[in-house]
Structure 1
Amino acid sequence: MSYNLLKGKRGIIFGALNEQSIAWKVAELAVEEGATITLSNTPVAVRMGEISALSDKLNCEVIPADATSVEDLEVVFQRSMEILGGKIDFVLHSIGMSPNVRKKNTYDNLDYNMLGKTLDISAISFHKMLQVAKKMNAIADYGSVVALSYIAAQRTFFGYNDMADAKSLLESICRSFGYIYGREHNVRINTISQSPTMTTAGSGVKGMDKLMDFSNRMSPLGNADADECANYCITMFSDLTRKVTMQTLFHDGGFSSMGMSLRAMVQYEKSFEEYCDENGNIIYG
């Protein structure tokens, strides 16, 4: 059901790769809610991914770009304004990748060149995106920019590796740039800290399936899926949230406020029962 929340608005969605992508879901819902959009991803992702199918479905143009390149980002914003017929009202940054995670390098044995790439792709690209947009005056007053984050920016999660550092930087950029852009142009900038979601990028995190099960047991409302995240993003793009900025908004079923849930405690106790003898002594393998 459409509410026309984005009727007449123009947007850019960075990061849609395939139907698993949160950015893919956001793009679909944005158009359903009345927006016109452009899509952007790396040239390799455009060639290898399924974004052309999304482009055909939504009747929108794909602009290949490396989000770590200022020159490429300038092209994206300039072309988007030309194609859509005016300044941009909303932008989604759904970009993240860690070469260290892909190479299975542990956090205490990082390749620092790879760490630099992780930070550039997953966080500094957000700063570049905002800086380019501001210098070009590409985002309309009272526009909205959202980047996707994760609670590992603030707490330690096994296997999340240097992506946790990237998400911390991403959230800091949101606050710092949000002050400047809000003060000068009323543009609001927020991050959404989403439940673990089995996207293409998420599947590379060690133990992702177990992490999703754990967070689902801990969250009173259960994990938020990609479709539900898209709903939240659309709300943040709409005029209903014009005074929300510089926030890390948790969209995780309540996980971020939990210490221990009953479901998680029951499972925890069962794990001891499985490894104890009849006298309650732990049996070591």
Structure 2
Amino acid sequence: MSYNLLKGKKGIIFGALNEQSIAWKVAEKAVEEGATITLSNTPIAVRMGEVSALSEKLNCEVIPADATSVEDLETVFKRSMEIFGGKVDFVLHSIGMSPNVRKRRTYDDLDYDMLDKTLDISAVSFHKMIQVAKKLDAISEYGSILALSYVAAQRTFFGYNDMADAKALLESIARSFGYIYGREHNVRINTISQSPTMTTAGSGVKGMDKLFDFADRMAPLGNASADECADYCIVMFSDLTRKVTMQNLFHDGGFSSVGMSFVQWLPTKKDLMSTKMKMVISFTVNR
């Protein structure tokens, strides 16, 4: 159901790869809500992935770019403004990759050249993106810039590895640049800390299936899906959130606020039902 929340707005979506991508879902919802968009991903992702199919479906242009390259980012923003005939209203940074994770290097045995790449791709690219946009004066007043994060920026999750460091840096960039861009141009910058999501990138994390299941059991509302995350992004792009900036917004069904949960003691539905029955029997006997 469309609410026309982005009617007349224009935006750039970085990172859509396939139908499992959160960025893919955001692109679809943005257009559904009335926005005009451009898509960007690495040249190899454009050649090898399914982005062209998405661009045809949404009638939008794909601009290949390496998000770690300032020159490429300048091309994305300049070309997007040409297409839009004006400034950009919203930007999504949905980019993350760790060579150490891919190579199964543990946190106490990192390859530092790979770590540099992790930080550059997953976090510093966000800084470069914002800096390029600011220097080009590419973002409209009260425009919205978003990046996708994860609770591992604040808490330790075995197997998430150096991506946790990258997410912590990503959130810091949102705060630091959010202050400057907000004071000077009323542009808001936030991060959304999403539930574990079975995207192509997320599935590469060691033990992701167990992490997904654990979070789903712990969270009072269960894990938030990619579609639900896209809905949240749309709200953050809209005029409904004009005064929200420099925030890391948890979108995880309540997981980030839970300490000890009931399901930690009763890890399966079978155990849960068994315990309920015991409680009923005990209550009946002791009446």
Aligned length: 270
Shift of 1:262: 1.3
What do the CA deviations read for 1:139-195 (whole angstroms, capped 9, x no partner)?
A: 001000000000000000010000000000000000000000000000000000000
- The secondary structure found in structure 2 opposite 1:161 is coil
How many Å separate the matches in 2 of 1:128 and 1:265? 45
Paired position in structure 2 for 1:216: 216
How many Å separate the matches in 2 of 1:41 and 1:49? 10
Paired position in structure 1 for 2:107: 107
Does 1:117 pair with 2:117? yes
Map of 1:69-108 to 2, 5 A cutoff? 69-108=69-108
Query: 4+ residue stretches of structure 1 with deviation over 6 A?
Result: none
Paired position in structure 1 for 2:174: 174
How many Å separate the matches in 2 of 1:92 and 1:140? 15
Does 1:63 pair with 2:63? yes
What do the CA deviations read for 1:76-104 (whole angstroms, capped 9, x no partner)?
A: 00000001111000000000000000000
Map of 1:198-277 to 2, 5 A cutoff? 198-267=198-267
Paired position in structure 2 for 1:195: 195
Shift of 1:264: 2.5
Paired position in structure 2 for 1:136: 136
Amino acid at match of 2:26: V
How many Å separate the matches in 2 of 1:45 and 1:127? 21
- The secondary structure found in structure 1 opposite 2:267 is helix
Shift of 1:251: 0.1
How many Å separate the matches in 1 of 2:10 and 2:51? 19
- The secondary structure found in structure 2 opposite 1:267 is coil
Paired position in structure 2 for 1:16: 16
Amino acid at match of 1:235: V
Gaps of 5+ in 2: 272-287
Amino acid at match of 1:138: A
Shift of 1:265: 1.7
How many Å separate the matches in 1 of 2:177 and 2:80? 22
Amino acid at match of 2:181: Y
Paired position in structure 2 for 1:36: 36
Structure 1 length-normalised TM: 0.94
Gaps of 5+ in 1: 271-285
How many Å separate the matches in 1 of 2:201 and 2:154? 20
How many Å separate the matches in 2 of 1:224 and 1:169? 23
How many Å separate the matches in 2 of 1:171 and 1:52? 30
Shift of 1:41: 0.1
- The secondary structure found in structure 1 opposite 2:47 is helix
Shift of 1:17: 0.1
Amino acid at match of 1:91: V
Amino acid at match of 1:146: L
Amino acid at match of 2:230: A
Instruction: State the identity as a percent.
Output: 84
Amino acid at match of 2:245: T
How many Å separate the matches in 1 of 2:97 and 2:83? 29
